[in-house]
C-alpha cells in the first residue's frame, strides 16, 4: 500500500510517502517538508499563537494535496512536543481537524522514544543485542534501551535543541559562561533521569537518530547524504567534544559553512551538540552508530505490524 505520514515536530512539518507492505522494508516515494518552527510560535504562557496555528493548518492542507497527487491510500498524522505541551494544544488540533479533516494524534514523549527505538531495532537487527537509542529533536530528548523491539526503558526529557537554544543559549555566539551554565543544566537534567536506563544492563550497540545527530556526525567527518542511507555513519565522543568546541566559538552564519549544517538548523546545532555530548558522557557511550530511520519510520512499522 502507499502510506503517507505527516510528522508535526517542533522544527518542521514533514510528509513522507512510502510504499509499504507487511514484512517488507518501507520504500520512500516522495517527501514534502516545511520549516514551520512551531517552537518559535509559543507565547510566554506556552500557548501556540494564531500565526503558528494558521500556518500549521495551511501546511496540513498542502500535505493532503500532495498525498492525493501521490496516490496515498492511508494518511497517518501525528504531533510531538510542541503541541503536546501547549495549553491550547487541543484547540489547535480542533482547528486543524475542522479546516482540513485531518485528525492529528499527539504522541507522548514515551511513545516517541518507543517508536524511535522500534525503527532503530528494525534497521540494525537482532544481532545488535541490547540497544541504546538517543534521539534529539527540536523540543525534546528521547532515550530508550532494551533487547527486544519494545524497549525495557523509555524516557523523554524537555531538552530539544530548539527549546534549549531559545531558553538557555542567547547570543551569537553565546558567551562562554552562558554555554557553561547551559552545559551544567543539561547534565543535571539528564543525570537525574537515567536510573531506568541504568537498570537495563550492558549495552551492546548505541545508536543516534534525528537530523541533529546526522549533522553532528557529518561535521565530525561522517559520509555525506549523497552516499545514500546505507553508508555506515558514526559519531565518536572524542570527535563530538571537538565539534562542541568549534560550535561554541562560531556564529550562526559561520556554522552554515560547516558540512551538514543547514541555515535553518545552524542556530540550534550547538545546543544539540551539548545534549549529545552530555548523554554520551553520562551513559558511558564512546560511539554512536547513526540510524537513518527514526520516529516517522517507527510509526510506519507499527502500522504495518497491525495489518492483518
Residues 116 and 82 in one domain: no
pLDDT score recorded for residue 42: 82
Q: What is the four-CA torsion angle of 187, 192, 197, 203, rounded to 10 degrees?
A: 30
Residues 28 and 115 in one domain: no
CB 155 within 8 A of CB 196: yes
Residues 50 and 164 in one domain: no
Q: Give the 3-state secondary structure of residue 255.
A: helix
Residues 102 and 114 in one domain: no
Instruction: Supply the pTM of this predicted model.
Output: 0.95
pLDDT score recorded for residue 82: 87
* Residues spanned by the domain of 190: 109-295
Select from 106, 123, 156 the last residue of a domain.
106
pLDDT score recorded for residue 296: 94
Select from 53, 81, 106 the last residue of a domain.
106
CATH of the domain at 60: 3.30.420.40
CA distance 171 to 179: 10
Select from 79, 106, 133 the last residue of a domain.
106
Alpha-carbon separation of residue 89 from 18, 39, 42, 50, 185 (angstroms)? 28, 13, 11, 12, 27
Q: Is 42 exposed, middle or buried (0-12, 13-18, 19+ CB in 10 A)?
A: buried
In a domain, 161, yes or no: yes
CATH of the domain at 196: 3.30.420.150
Residues 78 and 144 in one domain: no
Residue 21 has pLDDT above 90, yes or no: no
In a domain, 303, yes or no: no
CB 161 within 8 A of CB 212: yes
pLDDT score recorded for residue 179: 98
Residue 12 has pLDDT above 70, yes or no: yes
H helix intervals, the chain: 50-69, 81-84, 89-100, 109-124, 161-168, 176-191, 195-198, 211-219, 237-248, 252-255, 269-283, 295-305
Q: Give the 3-state secondary structure of residue 108.
A: coil
pLDDT tens digit sequence for 2-11: 999 999 988 8
Report how many domains make up the chain: 2
Residues 256 and 163 in one domain: yes
Residue 58 has pLDDT above 90, yes or no: yes
CA distance 296 to 280: 24
Q: How does strand 131-136 pair with strand 141-146?
A: antiparallel
Residues 88 and 119 in one domain: no
Longest dimension (CA), the chain: 57
Residues 231 and 289 in one domain: yes
β-bridge mates for residue 6, sequence order:
15, 77
| Residue closest to 210 by CA, chosen among 141, 144, 135 | 135
pLDDT score recorded for residue 74: 95
pLDDT score recorded for residue 191: 97
CA distance 108 to 95: 20
In a domain, 69, yes or no: yes
| Residue closest to 56 by CA, chosen among 37, 70, 75, 71 | 37
CB atoms within 10 A of CB 178: 15
Residues 101 and 116 in one domain: no
Residues 119 and 264 in one domain: yes
pLDDT bin (cut points 50, 70, 90) of residue 40 is confident
pLDDT tens digit sequence for 178-226: 999 999 999 999 999 999 999 999 999 999 999 999 999 999 999 999 9
In a domain, 308, yes or no: no
Mean pLDDT of 294-302: 95
CB atoms within 10 A of CB 202: 7
User: What is the chain's mean pLDDT, rounded?
Assistant: 95
Residues 236 and 121 in one domain: yes
Query: What letter would DSSP give residue 150?
Result: S
Residues 142 and 163 in one domain: yes
pLDDT bin (cut points 50, 70, 90) of residue 308 is low
Peptide bond into 308 cis (omega under 30): no
Amino acid at each position: 500500500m502507499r502510506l503517507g505520514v505527516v510528522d508535526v515536530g517542533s522544527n518542521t512539518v514533514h510528509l513522507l510517502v512510502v510504499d509499504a507492505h507487511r514484512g517488507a522494508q518501507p520504500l520512500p516515494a516522495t517527501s514534502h517538508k516545511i520549516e514551520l518552527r512551531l517552537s518559535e510560535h509559543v507565547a510566554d504562557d506556552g500557548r501556540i499563537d494564531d500565526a503558528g496555528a494558521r500556518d500549521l493548518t495551511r501546511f496540513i492542507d498542502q500535505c493532503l494535496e500532495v498525498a492525493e497527487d501521490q496516490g496515498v491510500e492511508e494518511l497517518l498524522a501525528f504531533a510531538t512536543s510542541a503541541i503536546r505541551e501547549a495549553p491550547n494544544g487541543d484547540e489547535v488540533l480542533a482547528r486543524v481537524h475542522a479546516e482540513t479533516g485531518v485528525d492529528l494524534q499527539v504522541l507522548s514523549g514515551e511513545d516517541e522514544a518507543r517508536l524511535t527505538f522500534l525503527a532503530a531495532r528494525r534497521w540494525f537487527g537482532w544481532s545488535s543485542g541490547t540497544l541504546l537509542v538517543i534521539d534529539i529533536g527540536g523540543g525534546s530528548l528521547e532515550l530508550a534501551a532494551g533487547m527486544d523491539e519494545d524497549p525495557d526503558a523509555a524516557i523523554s526529557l524537555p531538552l530539544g535543541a530548539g527549546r534549549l537554544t531559545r531558553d538557555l543559549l542567547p547570543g551569537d555566539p553565546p558567551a562562554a559562561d552562558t554555554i557553561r551554565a547551559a552545559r551544567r543544566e543539561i547534565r543535571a537534567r539528564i543525570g537525574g533521569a537515567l536510573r531506568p536506563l541504568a537498570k537495563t544492563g550492558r549495552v551492546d550497540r548505541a545508536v543516534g537518530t534525528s537530523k541533529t545527530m546526522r549533522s553532528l556526525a557529518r561535521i565530525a567527518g561522517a559520509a555525506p547524504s549523497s552516499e545514500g542511507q546505507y553508508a555506515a555513519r558514526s559519531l565518536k565522543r572524542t570527535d563530538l567534544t571537538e565539534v562542541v568546541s568549534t560550535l561554541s566559538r562560531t556564529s550562526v552564519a559561520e556554522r552554515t559553512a560547516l558540512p551538514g549544517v543547514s541555515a535553518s538548523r545552524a542556530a540550534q546545532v550547538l545546543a544539540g551538540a551539548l545534549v549529545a555530548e552530555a548523554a554520551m558522557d553520562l551513559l558511558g557511550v564512546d560511539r554512536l552508530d547513526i540510524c537513518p530511520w527514526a520516529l516517522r519510520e517507527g510509526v510506519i512499522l507499527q502500522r504495518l505490524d497491525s495489518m492483518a
